[in-house]
Structure 1
Amino acid sequence: MPKKWLTESEAFGYLAARTEGRLATCDADGQPYITPLNYVFHRGNIYFHCAPQGHKLDNIAANNRVCFEVSQSDKLVFNEKACGCSTRYTSVVVFGKARIVNDTAEKIDALNTLTARFAAGRPFAAVDAAMVNGCVVVAVSVEKISGKKNVDPDAAP
């Protein structure tokens, strides 16, 4: 199965094009925890919002080092032997640090960018300073990124 490592630029492009990913955090005892979430890649950070309390925020407070993953399965490849079965996929993994966004302007910018992404051209009520108190915005800085594709052998390079 030919695998193709993505260039850093391709990995960032894939990250920017997606809207759903999985955030891996660890608690103070090292217990991993994975959260699926919606996000936007904006100004070099992964941004998402969440409730003001919860397991992932507890973990980020205990250990701000995180891993973030986005992927898609393009097709399943069946073979009569288990070791011959495979998936054609694209995936990107990010390692970084998470922080709670406390700056009101950054929080507004992130929430409006996230909303605009999901609005997909439809009008929406922009977030303002009076509205940002109801949720927490988290920014994940990208320290390392990698990606790969498992492609069909006859696919164009």
Structure 2
Amino acid sequence: QMEKGKLTFYVHCAKEGHKLECLKENRNVFVEIDRGESLITADIPCKYGAEYESVMCRGKAMIIEDIKEKCKALGVLMKVQTGEEHEIDDKMASVVNVVKIDVESYTAKSCIR
């Protein structure tokens, strides 16, 4: 989500697990998003390659505790996943954790022939 020039990611996860334990110890995260991956073939192995686009981000992650913010974040995730607006209530939000990642810096790369 891009708001006021600031990039924010939301991810949902289980209520417990290794990822959450790591985030409690260290909020620094790295996120990479790739798309359009396809193999570029060639007549000799060293000329093979790949087409892709990627964005790499560094930021700080936090587990959202406020239920209203959590519902809003899940609504954003559903809009991205389905292209539709979904109303998320407190009961739905209570079964997952939502992690908010405030992006501090990012780079992008495109390798398309």
TM bucket normalised to smaller? 0.7 to 0.9
**Partner Cα separation in structure 1 for residue 91 and residue 52 of structure 2:** 42
Report whether the alignment pairs 1:145 with 2:106: yes
Letter of the 1:113 counterpart: V
Letter of the 1:127 counterpart: I
Q: What is the Cα deviation at residue 73 of structure 1?
A: 3.4
Letter of the 1:91 counterpart: S
**Partner Cα separation in structure 1 for residue 95 and residue 110 of structure 2:** 39
**Partner Cα separation in structure 2 for residue 133 and residue 61 of structure 1:** 19
1:16: which partner in 2? none
Tell me which stretches of 4 or more aligned residues in structure 1 moved more than 6 Å.
none
Report whether the alignment pairs 1:47 with 2:10: yes
**Partner Cα separation in structure 1 for residue 66 and residue 56 of structure 2:** 27
Candidates 76, 84, 98, aligned match of 2:61: 98
**Partner Cα separation in structure 1 for residue 2 and residue 90 of structure 2:** 19
**Partner Cα separation in structure 1 for residue 79 and residue 25 of structure 2:** 32
Cα 1:107–1:149 change in 2 (3 A) is same
Report whether the alignment pairs 1:118 with 2:53: no
8 Å Cα contact 1:94-1:143 kept in structure 2: yes
User: TM-score normalized by structure 2?
Assistant: 0.85
Identical-residue share of aligned pairs (%): 30
Q: Secondary structure at the match of 1:99?
A: strand
* Aligned counterparts, 1:78-89, within 5 A: 78-89=41-52
**Partner Cα separation in structure 2 for residue 42 and residue 100 of structure 1:** 19
The count of aligned residue pairs is: 110
**Partner Cα separation in structure 2 for residue 48 and residue 101 of structure 1:** 10
Structure 2: gaps spanning 5 or more residues: none
Structure 1: gaps spanning 5 or more residues: 1-40, 153-157
Does 1 or 2 have the higher relative contact order (CA < 8 Å, sep 6+)? Answer: 2
1:18-54 Cα shifts (integer Å, max 9, x gaps)? xxxxxxxxxxxxxxxxxxxxxxx35431001111101
RMSD between superposed Cα atoms in Å: 1.8
Q: Secondary structure at the match of 2:43?
A: coil
